Structures are given as structure tokens and as C-alpha cells.
Amino acid sequence: MGSVVESTNKEVNGSVAVKNPTVVFVLGGPGSGKGTQCANIVEHFGYTHLSAGDLLRAEIKSGSENGTMIQNMIKEGKIVPSEVTIKLLQRAMQENGNDKFLIDGFPRNEENRAAFEEVTKIEPAFVLFFDCPEEEMERRLLSRNQGREDDNIETIRKRFKVFLESSLPVIEHYTAREKVRKIDAGRPVEEVFESVKALFTPKDEKAD
């Protein structure tokens, strides 16, 4: 059968279709509103949204051996090996052909980050960090009904803990490089998007 890494290796030769694509990493805890804001950015600014979680869930649905391994790791709140996720992202970028990508929910940890830059030779233009209070994220996750089996209180809190422990070093790394753009994500969707728009609008247009 072969693993997803083997199968994607056959399709990806270490480069993406577009040279030097613009990549924005989108980070934030579960329930911080990343998906909603990514949809707005796609609509207004022509980016392609690649969700690491969606790509992994699609792999799970494919019924492959690798998909079963991914499913078990997610259920336990563990992080999927970097190489698996990076190859899925790389293949998606290559097949899409756009030159502007939002990569949502990745890198999840410092090892993800280092591996992504090493494998793809791409550094993000910046990191969009949706900073949201834990109580607000918990409220949102419990009130939404997307059929996500991982949206119960115990798993939610485990996901918060994993996010904090794993992602803060990534945010610190890019903060040191002056690449983090932090957004207060505890506000209503429209207000949050006003802040997001300011980051994506070219400076010459802002002067108008």
C-alpha cells in the first residue's frame, strides 16, 4: 500500500509549481476563528487557503493505513509527524498553481517549522496569530455543531494545552524575526476582519 509520505514523494519532487510563492502561516488556538477569517482573506485578497487539519482529515477519509494512524494520533491529542503534513501541503500547493497561500494550523510546533522551511525552502511572509482568551474559544467550540467528534470539553482542553505548549515556541521564533502579526480574536468577526484587512492591503492603497 505504501504510506502517504511514499505516495506523495512520488508526486512532489521537492519544489512547488510556482517559484517563490507568498506563504502566510495562520496560527491560533482551537475556536479562535482562523477558518472564518481565512475564508474572508480568500474572498478579498485571492489567497488559497490550505488547512493542515482538512488535508489530514481527507487522508483519514481515504481509508489508507496512514489515515488510520493519523486518526488515532489526533484522537489522543498528539501531533502528526511533520513529514506527513508537509508533503500533503506541498502537493496541494503544487496542484493549485496559485502563488499566494494561507497555511492554517501549521506549523504546530518548532520541529514542524524547521522541517517546513528545510523541505520547501519557503519562509513565510508573516505569521497571522489569532490571540483569543481560552474561555471564549471554549464557548465557541461547545456552541458550534460541525459534527467534529473532537469537540467535547475534555478533548477541547487537551487541545488548548497542546496548542499552548507546542505553538508558543513557533510564535516566539517568528516574533524574534519581526514576522508575527497578532490579532485580538476575542472580538466579533467583523471587527477582527477589519484588523486582518489592514495587514493584507498594500501600503499604497492604504494612502488613498
Residue stretches of the annotated binding site: 31-36, 57, 78-80, 105-108, 112, 144, 148, 159, 187
Cis, peptide link before residue 107, omega less than 30° from 0: yes
C-alpha cell of residue 118: 528545510
Q: Are 151 and 141 in contact (CB under 8 A)?
A: yes
Q: Are 135 and 192 in contact (CB under 8 A)?
A: no
Give the annotated binding-site residues for ATP. Answer: 31-36, 144, 187
In this structure, which long-range contacts are made by residues 133-141, counting pairs with CB atoms below 8 Å and at least 24 apart in sequence?
Answer: 133/186, 134/29, 134/160, 136/31, 136/186, 137/29, 137/30, 137/31, 137/32, 138/31, 139/31, 140/31, 140/33, 141/30, 141/31
Give the single-character DSSP code of 101: E
Give the annotated binding-site residues for a ribonucleoside 5'-phosphate. Answer: 57, 78-80, 105-108, 148, 159
Angle at alpha carbon of residue 6, lines to 127 and 159, rounded to 5°:
40
Give the annotated binding-site residues for CMP. Answer: 112
Q: Are 99 and 18 in contact (CB under 8 A)?
A: yes
Q: Are 51 and 35 in contact (CB under 8 A)?
A: yes
